[in-house]
Amino acid sequence: KNLKKYFPVKGGILNRTKAEVKAVDDISFAINPGETLSLVGESGCGKSTTGRAVLRLEEPTDGEITFNGEDFRSLSKSELRDKRKDMQIIFQDPYASLNPRQKVKQILDEAMAIQGVVPKKDRPARIRELMDVVGMRPHQAERYPHEFSGGQRQRIGIARALSVDPKLIVCDEAVSALDVSTQAQVLNLLRDLQRKYDLTYLFISHDLGVVRHISDRVAVMYLGKIVEIADKKSLFDSPRHPYTRALLSAIPVPDPDEKSERIVIEGDVPSPMDPPSGCRFHTRCPFATDICKQEDPELRKTGDMADDHQAACHHMEEIVAQYGTTPTLPE
Ligand code: SF4
Ligand code: MG
């Protein structure tokens, strides 16, 4: 709730100017047990920082984090270490986070030892079981990370996260480095594991195709803010924020005969060090008016629509009235 993460930076002549990058700037959202909430947006929008701040791998600058009804931000370092087993993270590049000098079985054993979750004598059996649940052969635990493909290494990363029996897993671009068919396999694995172990995912990705496959709900981020949040179907079928429309219309259309007008977002993403006033999207939005430059729009429902779909745009009612809620817009 009201989560912020600002990074101090030095700049200007002789590095004397102090400034801040507002990587995450006052966002609020809830993740329901057992669901997958995706955070999507272009690189630099703050989605990874949000994932890390939620786990306190990065201390938030401000805001509240509640986990299972407990105030997660007030936990001391040692309490936090204890709670780590409930919340795990999987990275884009598992290779970078797997110790190259350890065999897979040592990597898994160490994860369990640090969290004290499985007695030493039971760990070999647990390691065999973990290899099996992520679709690998038990004897492969005798090998080193470099002996595996990217997809297999991601399975090992998943096994390590699962070894401590977590409730929430943050998946930060977890399949982004994989080729498309391996992506699908790992996404299916994540979905199977979710059902089997009642896992909750915060799924971070820049890839809307992947997000469409895995999510229950989706939050779209732009320059440190959530600009739209809704269940997947509602978001993909009837986006309400101009930025979401632009993102969706940029997805390649599989059928080349199917005509779709693309919205080209003009310009580059502005610097998060000096974000635009008012609505941060106003420098690139085709619908921007004066109020957009002055007032930061709140995340809210559209008009009198009774759904849980929320967007942050001053003009969404007019845009929906004029263009409907299909992702594409006329030229
Ligand atoms: Fe565009 Fe204005 Fe809506 Fe921002 S508030 S998305 S600038 S119309
Ligand atoms: Mg990232």
Interval 94-111 mean pLDDT: 91
User: Residue whose CA is closest, atom 3 of ligand 1?
Assistant: 313
Ligand 1 pocket, residue 22 CB under 6 Å: no
| pLDDT, tens only, 14-48 | 676 678 899 999 999 999 999 999 999 988 899 99
Which has more pLDDT, 19 or 144?
A: 144
Q: Is there an atom of ligand 1 within 6 Å of 315 CB? A: yes
Q: Is the pLDDT of residue 326 over 70?
A: no
Q: Which atom of ligand 1 has the smallest separation from the CA of 319?
A: 8
- Answer yes or no: is the C-beta of 314 below 6 A from any ligand 1 atom: yes
Ligand 1 pocket test, pick from 244, 263, 287, 300 with the greatest ligand atom count within 8 Å of Cβ, gives 287
Report how far ligand 2's centroid is from the alpha carbon of 177 (Å). 12
pLDDT: which is higher, 263 or 145: 145
Q: Give the confidence band of 75 by pLDDT, cuts at 50, 70, 90.
A: very high
* Residue from 265, 314, 329 to probe ligand 1 pocket by mutation (most atoms less than 8 Å from CB): 314
Q: pLDDT tens digit string along 157-216?
A: 999 999 999 999 999 999 998 999 999 999 999 999 999 999 999 999 999 999 999 999
Return the HEC string of the chain. CCEEEEEEEEECHHHCEEEEEEEEEEECCCCCCCCEEEEECCCCCCHHHHHHHHCCCCCCCECCCEECCEEHHHCCHHHHHHHHHHEEEECCCHHHHCCCCCCHHHHHHHHHHHHCCCCHHHHHHHHHHHHHHCCCCHHHHHCCHHHCCHHHHHHHHHHHHHCCCCCEEEEECCCCCCCHHHHHHHHHHHHHHHHHHCCEEEEEECCHHHHHHHCCEEEEEECCEEEEEEEHHHHHHCCCCHHHHHHHHCCCCCCCCCCCCCCCCCCCCCCCCCCCCCCCCCCCCCCCCHHHHHCCCCCEECCCCCCCCEECCCCHHHHHHHHCCCCCCCC
Looking at the CA of 322, name the nearest ligand.
1
pLDDT value for 264? 55
pLDDT score at 259:
45
The CA 170 to ligand 2 mean position distance, Å, reads 12
Ligand nearest to the CA of 220: 1
Distance 265 CA to ligand 1 centre (A): 13
221: CA distance to ligand 2 center in Å? 12
* Residue 160 Cβ contacting ligand 1 at under 6 Å: no
Find the ligand nearest to 302 CA.
1
Higher pLDDT, 326 or 71: 71
Question: Which of the residue ranges 119-128, 198-207, 228-237, 318-327 would you say has the lowest mean pLDDT?
Answer: 318-327
CA 295 to ligand 1 centroid distance, Å:
10
Q: Delimit the domains of the chain by residue range.
A: 30-215, 220-323
Q: Does residue 313 have its Cβ closer than 6 Å to ligand 1?
A: yes
pLDDT of residue 95: 74
Report the top-level CATH class of 30-215: alpha beta
* Whole-number pLDDT of residue 323: 77
Mean pLDDT for 237-253 is: 83
- In this prediction the pTM is 0.91
